Structures are given as structure tokens and as C-alpha cells.
């Protein structure tokens, strides 16, 4: 009914000669919550990068004269059972938690993305094989799967990342599969075939770049999730080993002292919450900004 | 004069977007007599659909807005009506059929019920009476009345468009606006539908505004033809004048673009060069002057007025004033 | 004798569906001479686009032969197929979905060069792109523009430049103007005409509208439900159609000439389903002249007069 209105709009977009990135950014900027999320993530990133300058103490700097002290001017988030500064440990820990988030998500994204794209592109038996395998991974509760894997490989940060990474593969595979399936219907895929392009060329040059929008959203949301799972595993002692100040490990260590030193567990918990919230806000905002149906 | 059914005076419709104002319709003047068939021709973005939506006050707002003019329907200005009053006019006294017959019908109700509801809503009759009217209407568009209980997906594209015509005419509207009713159909199906429209127009005393980009379709049903370009009417006149003696340089280019199957000699088309301007960046003066092969210096400064060059044949071009 | 560039023999393409075999293309024969244009005309779902895709092996045929330059392209291996791609290209219907939205005009036009590793030198490649853009009538300043910044006509020109960049001999034009406005349509039709002369091209022009192919076609094949019903010179098909379906199709074209009086043939009903068709004339159910014997035997395309092939028992 409003065909003319939409052509007018299309013309308007064309006139300003914006790239899609600029267009997305313009719409993201209008979303206050997404912007707040983005700001928090940028701040967290800066904290992680400049941790050595921000933290007043080293992450394993023990002071036996100040054990389990509450927030004060010297240790404004208090100290732990070995007299370490909780604030400094959280600041150093941001490096670990954020890199866990990014690395595990990258594992899921690359492996899952490739599998999903291949499944969608070839369809039929290949699709069936890959996607049923993904279903099997999904059928095992993620947390238990990670516990089993880490127990088998031995608890360490690397194994933790592998375990959580594998866990996220099916989510990416599914998203990318459905995204590629709809991209595949476009005539430009046939147009690429007509000039003699190989399958890999089509997948990497056409299908994946055009399916990136939902992947970006999913990746952002997944980072938050993986941080939570990783923290949970570390909480159970299956991830980062002492004295590494991974947030989940901090939370776990603080658990024993909840009655005498509430700050030991509370502040790492808040850090996890804020980070996950930030990624979720940004992810939701990106989803709206990238959705062409919500153009405004 | 009382014999005018519809009179549009200096209608302006704008779309306000982030990027600026798109002037979709800029000062249209149009009259329609009862029972008359007018073809409204133009290319994508010329403002045809916006004009039609303007008559029904259905321009999506925001971003669209009717910024000026009058639309007199039986002497009453539709632009001053309340929304509630407009609802009583739409689908009742003025009906519209759209291009896409697939999305214009509700898939969960039978076609008979959809027609009947429209009838009972506007004419205060029971659904049962409405159903018998629906049956009658379907037969008018050559669909067996026994199919009133069928659902839209059980009909083919051409039949769905006929169902929509039946629905639009069920309340005996004084005016039917058809927006590209056959564009989505195949040629032989289009011929079926056109035949039905032509037949109906002879039987009932409804005026028709046929919006289309296809001059062949216009030739079949219209008595008068209006040619639109960039939100303005550039030429309007009786069918024969427009088809055999078109004067406006845009109309000449438009006819030069169409392969005439009956013309065995010509080997090449002669379209106007260039593109229609963006509704946001309309040129000063005559909107056609940047593409016009006959453009004069004056054309880029002033907008030409409509001039009557023959009885009933108006052209908006400085070549004739 | 004219030089046949392409010949297809008994081409078939069936798609399995839940209801049975869909006979999209069912025993199609035709040839195209070097330098000529064959118009392939029919209504939606008649198999004309599928035929075009089979010719370039975008789809694999269920049966039949496709002979290009004397060789059966279905027997081509990967290397030969790549070579064939440089000779036969396609222009698509939808100027909106046929260009990758993430590539600039320059990238879209040069992709065939990159894929086929010709013009590896960046400068030579750019020169070639600009040359093609000029031929297709695209301003050189648009080389870095993205498809969404262009209107339908310009996008179609980009698609044409891309199809021509490998210097092909043969182009399949799949309804290349049906999504465009009339004046743009006319501009593009004229462009095809010019390019054919300039590059000595051979076209298969697929269209649903007979009038569109008027200025470009030498001969026309009319398709109905996966089969060719009439195949002859342009004038023969338009001015003296013989098959009852062609007659209806020609009479249904909306005319702009008010003085040309003609009888319009209105066909009953709709195109029947191409799934598991009956083994007799596909047009039987809608034909005005159908006879009982039409239902009793299969009908094939036969030459009824020099250069005119008709698939109708009444005319043979």
C-alpha cells in the first residue's frame, strides 16, 4: 500500500550515499541503552588494557597485616583472606574474563560459522549430518558438557575456553545456517556461479559477508553468556586456578567468607553482572539497528 | 457544478523523512464525472499511488502529510472530514483495489465472508444478507457463486483479483480506484480481468480511476487520460487526443518508449533520456526541464500553467502558452 | 546455411515434489544462430527461466543435449566449464537481488576477471572496468558506489557490464527489463541492440511480454507448460500466429494503437499444474478449438511451413 512511501525512503537513503555501516551506526546512536552498553564495554576494555596502571596493587600482592578488611581508603573494595586488594584483583581479572569471552566466542564463531555456512550451502545430506551433530551437542546441557570436558582434559584456563567454545558452536551454526539459507536465495549467488566462481569463493565472498548482521548480534550476546559459563566453571574450580584473579574464581573464593567479608564475593559478582548486562544491551541494540524492517 | 463527482484542487502531499521532504504530489487538479473512467498514467515515483491514497485519506502519516488543496467528493471536502466519517466513505462510496491480490485478502476467512462483512458493516444488513450479496457479486465477476465459502488460497492470482473487484463493488461505490490491478498478472489472465472490468463499467454507474504504468491497459478502459510526472499532471485529455496527438515532451517520450506491436516499420524505441528526479530534489521551474529536448531558458525558472489547447485537452508546457 | 552457435535437443528438467514430478521443461528443441536473437516467450511458470538456466548449467538437465559450438556442454569437466563461462553469460531479471549489496560497482564488474584470473594487473583491470562501464552507459564516477545507491535502470546496466566483461559470445537475458519502468526499459532495450552490434553477440532473450522482444528478436519460441508450442520468425509469430495459444497470447497484448481493431481471445481458466501432466496436448483444457482426437495422442513440434514449427494436431 505504501509502496511510494518506501520508494521515497529508498531514494532518501540513496541520496545520502551512506554505507551500511554508517546507517547502522546512525540508528544505534539513537538507542540510549545500546549506547550505554557500548560505553561500558569500551570502559571495560580500557580497564583491561591499562590494568597495570589502574590497579593500585598487583593481583597476587599479599599483605598479611590487612586480611579480610572492609572497604577503606587504601583498599576501597576491601581485602581478601590473603590480604590482597579486591579492587586490584577485579581490575586484573577483567583481562581474563574479557579474553575468555572473546576467545571462546571466536572459537564458536569460526567453527560454527563455517559449519553452518557449509550446511546451508550444500543442503541435503551434508546439512543433515552437520546439523544433527549440532543437535547432539545441544542436547547435552552446556554446563555439564563443559564440566565433563574440563574434568577429562584437566582444569586449566585453556581447557575451559575450549570447552565453552565447543559449547557455543551449535548456536552460531544455527544462526549462520538460517542466515545463509535466506542469502542463498538471492540472484547474486546465481550471478556468481555464472561467472565460474568456486563454491568456496561464493561462501567466503558472498554468503558470509551478507550473513554477518545476525552473526554480529549473536556474537555480542554470546560473549556475555560465555563469561557467565566460564565464571561458573571457575567457581567450581574447573577453570582458572589460583592465584589467577578470574572473576568466577574470585566469587568462589569469596563464598567461604560471605559472613565475615561480604565484599569478597559481592564485587566480583557485580563486575560479572555489569559486563554481561553491557554485552546484552549492545547486542539487543545491534539487533534493532541492523533490522531493515525497523528503519527509522 | 453539480455534475462533478470528484474534484481535486491543487493537492499537495509531502513525505517528511530524516533526510528531508519528499514532494510526492505537487498541485494536482483533476475532475471526474459520474460514470467516467479516467486513466492515471505515470512511472514509478510519479505520485500516482500517493494521489489515490490522498483521495481516501490513507497516506501513511507519518511520514506522509497532505499539505494543501481540496478534495471535493460530491461537493464536500474530504480533507475536512473526521476520521470516523472517512471510515464510512471508504469501501462504501469510494473503493480501492490494490496491485497485489495475494496480500489484500485475509487468509483465515472465506472470500464470501470477507465480502459479506464489508457489506453488513456499511449497509447495516445482516451477515446472511451480506452473504447472498457476496454470491451475487462473485457471479458478476464470473466466479461461480458456489465458491463463496472458499478461502483465498484456493483461488489463482487472476481469480483473487476478481474477488477483490467483487468486494470493492459490493457496496455500489460511486468511485472505484484501481491501482495497477493487472500488473502482477500474466498477459492472458490480465486480459480476462480487463474484460471483466470493461464489462462491469458498462453495467454499473461507477466512476473509475485506473492507475497504471501500462498505456495499453489505459487504452482499453479509459475515456480520459491524465499523465503524471514528478508529482504533477503534465497532460490530460480525451483518450484519443492523448494517444494520437500527445503534445507534452514527456508524453511523447513515454509513447516513444513503448514497443508498438502493430507498427511493423519502426526498429528502434525513442525514450526520453535520463531519469525522473528524486522527489526530494525536484528541480526549479518545470520538473521535466532537465530531460526535456525542447527546454527553453524560461523552463528552469517558472512552472508552466495548464493550458487548454483543444476542448478538454490540457498541457502544462511553455511550448503552448 | 546459417551457423548454429547453440542447439538444444529434447531438453528436460523435472523437479521432484510431494505431489509428483514437476515437468518444468519437457522436451524442448531449438537452435540459435550466431549473431541472432531468439526470443523465448511464455507466461510465469512455463519453464522459460529454467530453460535459460539449463543452458548455462546453473541447473543440471534431467535429459537431453545442449550443444554449444559443436560440443556437448553437459560433458564438460570443471576446466572446460570454466572456459565455457567466459563465453556464455547471463543478465538477470531482478536488478535488486542480482547484485551483491556489499560490493561496489567496480568490484561487481571486475569479479568475473578476478574469478577467472584474467587481467591480473590492477591497472589493466581498472581500465577494463571503466571501458565496460562506458559501453553500458554508467558514469565512471559511480565506480565506488554501492548498488543501493543506484536506481533500477543503473543497476541493470551494472549487471550488463559485468556480463560483458569477459567478452562472451552468447548472453542469456532472463527478463532483463521486466522490473523496470517503461522509459528505462526502452533505454535498456536500445542498449542491448547497440551492444549486439558492437560485440557481435548472440542473445537468448527470455520475456513474458511479446511486445518487449519486438525490437530485438529475429525469431521467437513460445513456451507453454514446459514445451514449445510455436517456433518461427518474429513476424510469423506476431502477425500470423498459428497455435491457438499463441493466437490468444498475441491477442491479449494491450495495444496502444487505437485504430487497430482486433478480436480478443479470452482463454478460459488458468494454467494447469505442471505436476504429472497428461500425455497429450498441454493446452487441451483451455483450447477453443480442441477436438476429441487431441486427447488421444501425443503432439510434437513439427515444421508446418518453411521455418515455422507448430505443436498442434489441428495445424499439422
For B278, which of A1, A11, A296 is closest by C-beta distance? A11
By three-state DSSP, how is residue B28 classified? Answer: strand
For B258, which of C239, C256, C267 is closest by C-beta distance? C256
Residue C210 confidence (pLDDT): 87
* Selected residue of C56, C91, C100, C172 to mutate for chain A interface (largest A Cβ count, 10 A): C100
Give the percent of chain B with pLDDT over 70. Answer: 99
**Is the pLDDT confidence value at A12 over 90?**
no
CB-based contacts of C182, cutoff 8 Å, min separation 6? B43, B213, B215, B254, B257, B258, B271
Give the percent of chain A with pLDDT over 90. Answer: 29
**Is the pLDDT confidence value at C236 over 70?**
yes
**Higher confidence at residue B70 or residue A296?**
B70
Give the percent of chain B with pLDDT over 90. Answer: 31
Residue A59 confidence (pLDDT): 84
Q: Is the dihedral of CA C261, C262, C263, C266 positive or negative?
A: negative
For A187, which of C82, C92, C149 is closest by C-beta distance? C92
Query: Shortest Cα distance from C38 to chain A (angstroms)?
Result: 20
pLDDT tens track for A107-130: 999 999 899 999 998 988 999 999
- Residue with cell string 596493587: A57
Q: What is the mean pLDDT of chain C?
A: 89
Query: Shortest Cα distance from C47 to chain A (angstroms)?
Result: 17
Chain B residues close to C235, C-beta within 8 Å: 264
pLDDT tens track for C7-57: 999 999 999 988 888 999 999 999 999 999 999 999 888 999 999 999 999
Chain B residues close to A12, C-beta within 8 Å: 17-20, 22, 280
Which fold is adopted by the domain A40-290?
MetI-like fold (1.10.3720)
CB-based contacts of C71, cutoff 8 Å, min separation 6? none
Residue A191 confidence (pLDDT): 92
Q: Which of residues 127 through 156 in chain A touch B, CB cutoff 8 A?
A: none
Taking the Cβ of residue C271 and every Cβ of chain B, the question of whether any pair is shorter than 8 Å is answered with yes
Residue C265 confidence (pLDDT): 85
What confidence category does residue A1 fall into, taking pLDDT thresholds of 50, 70 and 90?
very low
Chain A residues close to C94, C-beta within 8 Å: 187
Q: Which residue of B has its CA nearest to C238?
A: B261
Q: Do C86 and A187 touch (CB under 8 A)?
A: no
Chain C residues close to B192, C-beta within 8 Å: 266-267
β-pairing verdict for B175-179 and B207-212:
parallel
Residues A146-169: what's their mean pLDDT?
88
What confidence category does residue A2 fall into, taking pLDDT thresholds of 50, 70 and 90?
very low
CB-based contacts of C216, cutoff 8 Å, min separation 6? C37, C39, C189, C192, C193, C196, C203, C205
Residues B28-37: what's their mean pLDDT?
90
**Higher confidence at residue A62 or residue C156?**
C156
Q: Which residue of B has its CA nearest to A18?
A: B19
**Is the pLDDT confidence value at C247 over 70?**
yes
**Is the pLDDT confidence value at C234 over 70?**
yes
Q: Which of residues 122 through 161 in chain C touch B, CB cutoff 8 A?
A: 151, 153
Q: What is the layout of strands, in order, in the sheet containing C20-33?
A: C20-33, C4-17, C63-68, C71-72
Residue A5 confidence (pLDDT): 41
Residue A20 confidence (pLDDT): 67
The three cell numbers locating residue C185: 526499459
Q: Which of B288, B303, B297, B208 has the alpha carbon at shortest distance from B247?
A: B288
Residues B45-71: what's their mean pLDDT?
88
**Is the pLDDT confidence value at A152 over 70?**
yes
Taking the Cβ of residue A255 and every Cβ of chain B, the question of whether any pair is shorter than 8 Å is answered with no
**Higher confidence at residue C146 or residue C243?**
C243
Residues C231-244: what's their mean pLDDT?
91
Residue A294 confidence (pLDDT): 53
Query: Among the listed ranges A133-137, A231-235, B240-244, which one has the minimum average pLDDT value?
Result: A231-235
Q: In a 10 Å sphere around its CB, with 0-12 CB exposed, 13-18 middle and 19+ buried, how is residue B144 labelled?
A: exposed
Q: Do B45 and A3 touch (CB under 8 A)?
A: no
pLDDT tens track for A239-250: 888 788 889 888
Residues B228-237: what's their mean pLDDT?
93
What confidence category does residue C211 fall into, taking pLDDT thresholds of 50, 70 and 90?
confident
* Selected residue of A21, A196, A203, A215 to mutate for chain C interface (largest C Cβ count, 10 A): A196
pLDDT tens track for C278-303: 888 999 988 888 888 888 888 888 89
Q: What is the mean pLDDT of chain B?
A: 88
Taking the Cβ of residue A16 and every Cβ of chain B, the question of whether any pair is shorter than 8 Å is answered with yes
Could you state, in order of their start, the residue ranges of all structural domains in chain A?
Answer: 40-290
Chain A residues close to C145, C-beta within 8 Å: 17
Q: Do A195 and C97 touch (CB under 8 A)?
A: no
Residue B220 confidence (pLDDT): 87
Chain A residues close to C99, C-beta within 8 Å: 188, 191
**Is the pLDDT confidence value at B149 over 50?**
yes
pLDDT tens track for B182-226: 888 888 888 888 888 888 888 888 899 999 988 888 988 899 999
Other C-beta atoms closer than 10 Å to the C-beta of B142 total 14
Residue C162 vs residues A181, B247, C132, C138, C184: alpha-carbon distances, Å: 25, 39, 8, 12, 19
Residue A3 confidence (pLDDT): 41
Domains for chain C: give ranges and CATH numbers: 4-97+170-183+194-310 (3.40.50.300)
For A5, which of B18, B60, B281 is closest by C-beta distance? B60
Q: Which of residues 60 through 89 in chain C touch B, CB cutoff 8 A?
A: none
8-state DSSP, C218: S
Residues A152-160: what's their mean pLDDT?
87
Amino acid at each position: 500500500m505504501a509502496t511510494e512511501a518506501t520508494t521515497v525512503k529508498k531514494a532518501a537513503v540513496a541520496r545520502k550515499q551512506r554505507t551500511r555501516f554508517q546507517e547502522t551506526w546512525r540508528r544505534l546512536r539513537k538507542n540510549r541503552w545500546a549506547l550505554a552498553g557500548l560505553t561500558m564495554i569500551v570502559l571495560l576494555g580500557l580497564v583491561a588494557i591499562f590494568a597495570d596502571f589502574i590497579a593500585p596493587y598487583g593481583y597476587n600482592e599479599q599483605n598479611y597485616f590487612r586480611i579480610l578488611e572492609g572497604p577503606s581508603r587504601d583498599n576501597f573494595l576491601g581485602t581478601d583472606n590473603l590480604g590482597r586488594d579486591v579492587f586490584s584483583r577485579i581490575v586484573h581479572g577483567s583481562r581474563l574474563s574479557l579474553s575468555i569471552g572473546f576467545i571462546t566466542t571466536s572459537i564458536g564463531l569460526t567453527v560454527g560459522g563455517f559449519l553452518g555456512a557449509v550446511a546451508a550451502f550444500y543442503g541435503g545430506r551434508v546439512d543433515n549430518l552437520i546439523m544433527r551433530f549440532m543437535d547432539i551437542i545441544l542436547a547435552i546441557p552446556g554446563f555439564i558438557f563443559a564440566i565433563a570436558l574440563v574434568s577429562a582434559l584437566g582444569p586449566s584456563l585453556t581447557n575451559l575456553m575450549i570447552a565453552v567454545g565447543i559449547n557455543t558452536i551449535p548456536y552460531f551454526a544455527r544462526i549462520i545456517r538460517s542466515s545463509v539459507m535466506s542469502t542463498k536465495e538471492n540472484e547474486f549467488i546465481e550471478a556468481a556461479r555464472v561467472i565460474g566462481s568456486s563454491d568456496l569463493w561464493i561462501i567466503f565472498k558472498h554468503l558470509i559477508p551478507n550473513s554477518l548482521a545476525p552473526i554480529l548480534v549473536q556474537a555480542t550476546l554470546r560473549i556475555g553468556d560465555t563469561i557467565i559459563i566460564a565464571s561458573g566453571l571457575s567457581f567450581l574450580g574447573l577453570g582458572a586456578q589460583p592465584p589467577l584473579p578470574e572473576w568466577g574464581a574470585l566469587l568462589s573464593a569469596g563464598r567461604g567468607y560471605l559472613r565475615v567479608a561480604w565484599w569478597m564475593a559481592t564485587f566480583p559478582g557485580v563486575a560479572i553482572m555489569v559486563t554481561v548486562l553491557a554485552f546484552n544491551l549492545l547486542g539487543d541494540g545491534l539487533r534493532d539497528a541492523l533490522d531493515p524492517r525497523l528503519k527509522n | 457544478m453539480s455534475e462533478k463527482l470528484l474534484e481535486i484542487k491543487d493537492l499537495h502531499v509531502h513525505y517528511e523523512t530524516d533526510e528531508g521532504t519528499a514532494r510526492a504530489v505537487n498541485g494536482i487538479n483533476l475532475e471526474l464525472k459520474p460514470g467516467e473512467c479516467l486513466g492515471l498514467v505515470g512511472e514509478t515515483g510519479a505520485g500516482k499511488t500517493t494521489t489515490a491514497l490522498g483521495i481516501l485519506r490513507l497516506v501513511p502519516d507519518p511520514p506522509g502529510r497532505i499539505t494543501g488543496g481540496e478534495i471535493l467528493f460530491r461537493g464536500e471536502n474530504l480533507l475536512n472530514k473526521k476520521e470516523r466519517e472517512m471510515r464510512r466513505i471508504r469501501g462504501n462510496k469510494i473503493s480501492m483495489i490494490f496491485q497485489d491480490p495475494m496480500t489484500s485478502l485475509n487468509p483465515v476467512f472465506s472470500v464470501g465472508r470477507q465480502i459479506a462483512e464489508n457489506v453488513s458493516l456499511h449497509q447495516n444488513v445482516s451477515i446472511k444478507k451480506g452473504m447472498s450479496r457476496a454470491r451475487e457479486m462473485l457471479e458478476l465477476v464470473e466466479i461461480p457463486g458456489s465458491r463463496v465459502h472458499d478461502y483465498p488460497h484456493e483461488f489463482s492470482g487472476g481469480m483473487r483479483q476478481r474477488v477483490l473487484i467483487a468486494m470493492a463493488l459490493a457496496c455500489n461505490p460511486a468511485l472505484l480506484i484501481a491501482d495497477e490491478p493487472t500488473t502482477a498478472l500474466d498477459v492472458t489472465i490480465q486480459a480476462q480481468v480487463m474484460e471483466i472490468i470493461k464489462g462491469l463499467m458498462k453495467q454499473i454507474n461507477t466512476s473509475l480511476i485506473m492507475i497504471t504504468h501500462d498505456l495499453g491497459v489505459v487504452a482499453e478502459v479509459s475515456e480520459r487520460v491524465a499523465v503524471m510526472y514528478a508529482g504533477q499532471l503534465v497532460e490530460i485529455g480525451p483518450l484519443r487526443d492523448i494517444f494520437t496527438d500527445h503534445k507534452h515532451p514527456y508524453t511523447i517520450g513515454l509513447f516513444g518508449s513503448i514497443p508498438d506491436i502493430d507498427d511493423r516499420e519502426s526498429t528502434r524505441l525513442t525514450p526520453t533520456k535520463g531519469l525522473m528526479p528524486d522527489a526530494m530534489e525536484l528541480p526549479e521551474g518545470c520538473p521535466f526541464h532537465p530531460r526535456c529536448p525542447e527546454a527553453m531558458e524560461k523552463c528552469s525558472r517558472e512552472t508552466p500553467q495548464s493550458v487548454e489547447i483543444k476542448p478538454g485537452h490540457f498541457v502544462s508546457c511553455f511550448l503552448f502558452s | 546455411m546459417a551457423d548454429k552457435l547453440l542447439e538444444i535437443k529434447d531438453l528436460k528438467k523435472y523437479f521432484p515434489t510431494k505431489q509428483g514430478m514437476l515437468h518444468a521443461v519437457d522436451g524442448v528443441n531449438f537452435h540459435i544462430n550466431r549473431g541472432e536473437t531468439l526470443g523465448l516467450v511464455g507466461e510465469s511458470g512455463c519453464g522459460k527461466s529454467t530453460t535459460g538456466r539449463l543452458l548455462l548449467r546453473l541447473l543440471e538437465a534431467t535429459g537431453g543435449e545442449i550443444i554449444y559450438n559443436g560440443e556437448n556442454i553437459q560433458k564438460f569437466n570443471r576446466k572446460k566449464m570454466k572456459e565455457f563461462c567466459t563465453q556464455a553469460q547471463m543478465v538477470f531479471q531482478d536488478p535488486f537481488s542480482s547484485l551483491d549489496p556489499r560490493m561496489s560497482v567496480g568490484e561487481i564488474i571486475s569479479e568475473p576477471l578476478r574469478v577467472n584470473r584474467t587481467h591480473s594487473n590492477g591497472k589493466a583491470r581498472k581500465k577494463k572496468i571503466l571501458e565496460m562501464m562506458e559501453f553500458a552507459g554508467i558514469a565512471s564516477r559511480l565506480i565506488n558506489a554501492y548498488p543501493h545507491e543506484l536506481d533500477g535502470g543503473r543497476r541493470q546496466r551494472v549487471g550488463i557490464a559485468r556480463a560483458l566483461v569477459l567478452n562472451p559470445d552468447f548472453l542469456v537475458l532472463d527478463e532483463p527489463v521486466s522490473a523496470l519502468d517503461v522509459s528505462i526499459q526502452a533505454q535498456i532495450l536500445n542498449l542491448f541492440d547497440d551492444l549486439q552490434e558492437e560485440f557481435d553477440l548472440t542473445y537468448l532473450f527470455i520475456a513474458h511480454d511479446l511486445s518487449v522482444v519486438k525490437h530485438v528478436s529475429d525469431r521467437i519460441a513460445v513456451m507453454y507448460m514446459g514445451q514449445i508450442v510455436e517456433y518461427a520468425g518474429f513476424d510469423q509469430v506476431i502477425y500470423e500466429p498459428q497455435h491457438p495459444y499463441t493466437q490468444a497470447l498475441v491477442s491479449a497484448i494491450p495495444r496502444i494503437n487505437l485504430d487497430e481493431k482486433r478480436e480478443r481471445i479470452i482463454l478460459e481458466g488458468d494454467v494447469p499444474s505442471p505436476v504429472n501432466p497428461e500425455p497429450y496436448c498441454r493446452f487441451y483444457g483451455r483450447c477453443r478449438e480442441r477436438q476429441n482426437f487431441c486427447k488421444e495422442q501425443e503432439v510434437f513440434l513439427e515444421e508446418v511451413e518453411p521455418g515455422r514449427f507448430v505443436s498442434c494436431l489441428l495445424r499439422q
